[in-house]
Structure 1
Amino acid sequence: MEMDTGVRRHSCDVCGKEFTLKGNLNKHMAIHSGVKSYKCDDCGKGFTYKCNLKTHMRIHGGVPEMCQKCDICGKVFVTKASLSRHLDVHAGVKNHICGVCGKEFTQKGELKTHSSVHTGVSSHTCDICGKVFTTKRSLSRHLDVHAGVKNHICGVCGKEFTQKGELKTHSSVHTGVSSHTCDICGKVFTTKRSLIQHLNIHAGVKNHKCGVCGIEFTQKGDLKTHISMHTGVKRHKCEVCGKGFISKSDLKRHLYAHVDVKRYKCEICWREFTSKSALNMHLDIHAGVRDHRCDVCGKEFTQKGDLKTHLAMHAGVKSHRCDVCGKVFTQKSNLKAHLTVHAGVKNHNCDICGKAFTAKSSLRTHLLIHAGVKNHKCDVCGNAFTQKVELKKHMARHADVV
């Protein structure tokens, strides 16, 4: 009589679901207990109810007439109800609505997974990094990152990715679809994340700090390149001459050196360049533009490469070593000038007395003698000298007297 009248006196204490018969409530409670007493002898999969196992056995029994096939995609289901739910996906029917935010879903399972976002329940934890996920499937995909599994392959260039979302983002490179535009400069990005990182440049936000010298950067990639200056690692090798570079952009610029064609000419000094970007950087020298500023001492430079070389001085990086005596230098030009000492080449001549020097700085110091300039003064007796070495010898006499 209760079944006919629709009265449901038996309520579940866990989820509140109501049943007409007590036996149905008892069967339902097995879901909350997690007990799966009915095991498949073929694959070992467990089920809460015997009827679910019976339905599952159709897969192993291979009875095609008992299976339900989707006429749209050809997917096969063991029950008519499963096929009916699947057809909602093709039809775009979304009958399952979230009571909190109103978001609609095709499958009941999708709504259940979504609900955990509002409840904050995340029961699936990664044993490697401790990150928590709302679904077992999400955890499984995450574990592929630690395992290095890359099952998502780009059909255009063959590049492999761990996450499906990464492949989707990468595909926009080939399609040319870039929907995220910067309102300040108009630059377009394929992902919202890339746009946010770009906006930090306009805002002057520098969240990436070097742990060695303390210099801060807006982009993580810039910090990574900067750290290579401290380590001296040159991962980017030129396939033509074997020369190594810290950044990929430096290697790209270097490759122009192997190309004989120089199509871009400066109309001021007629110097030729292999790329338009190189010509534009060169024109900044004539214009006196100094857009590259050192964050440490405030010194400004026309070329980005000059700033990069200058920063190596602050960092104390001396990556240019003399193969003859082992002396190290921060700049390649300094090493080149030093090598003339070992070669005995004296290209710098004094116009007054004709004396030759290996380095331009040595000639400059020598000219002070002819000019009578004495910048090196003794703190003890006040005598002044043209050269530092003369003052040093003089100070030794004071030391002998003492």
Structure 2
Amino acid sequence: MDIHAAVKSHKCDICGKGFTRKDGLEGHMAMHAGVNCHKCDICGKAFTIKRGLRTHTAMHAAVKSHKCDICGIGFTRKKGLKRHMAMHAAVKRHKCDICGKGFTRKEGLEGHMAMHAGVNCHKCDICGKAFTIKRGLRKHMDMHAGVTHKCVVCGKAFTQMGTLKMHMDMHAGVNCHKCDICGKAFTQMGTLKMHMDMHAGVNCHKCDICGKVFTRKSGLKLHMDIHAAVKSHKCDICGKGFTRKDGLEGHMAMHAGVNCHKCDICGKAFTIKRGLRAHTAMHAAVKSHKCDICGKGFSRKSGLNSHMAMHAAVKCHKCDICGKCYKQKSDLKRHMAIHALN
């Protein structure tokens, strides 16, 4: 009762909030000033008040002995588990009229409806990017401020503590969400759900321009960027345009004949890292597509088709300048680059 009865004589000049003690006001003023002088020695996260740091350090040291019986996630404190269990038990009575998704709180539904409406009313003063919910803007502002949560194992930094926690689970090998079909395990239930969609062949996100379908909305968004993007990075040799500078750099390496990404298995080198990744996957993949003539196997049907064209000596890719024909489109592209140089 002393706290209720105490006179809050130490007032904040900015917002008017009162404190019973001077040190309370000092900590509060540090928040207005954006001063984070109490730094965690483990992950580098900083706090305006010492108490915040103490609570945070306890999380690093504590054993997550309070486990959720439903999803297996662990908590250092019983209170944290109770809050988490409330999420599992909560009745999602606020339903979306468009897609049927439910929310435990009205403001959750309001933010969701803003997404359907395409309303982005929370705008960043620095870069102009807008968000449907205030929380999205806050997380975005952390990126501008350079707020990072660092992994003590590999040194990788994240703008959000939640993302760091998921990353740490990967180091710890926590894969409690297992696929019943192929046995693959995931650290997050959301990732497992997306994986299960792949097994089910669910491709519900369709591109209105070219008709290509995706299992995830994020995949469609990335794809739409390709359609919408301006290819401002042009190649001086052949005129091909790219949406990103790194794409042009990789392309220029092809013209220069630079192959810096080498395969450890067969020694084949590639101009771009993506090419090496695709090639390495071929080494690991089961070569189920066999050639009826020579018995050579391929991991992909397209690879077998290209190989069969060689047996048939079909030269269907013709150069419009000199009339020379090639079996493969990639060979014609390399040939056209020679014309472009001249």
TM range (shorter): 0.3 to 0.5
The structure with higher relative contact order (CA 8 Å, sep 6+) is 2
Larger radius of gyration: 1
Q: With structure 1 as the length reference, what TM-score do the two structures score?
A: 0.39
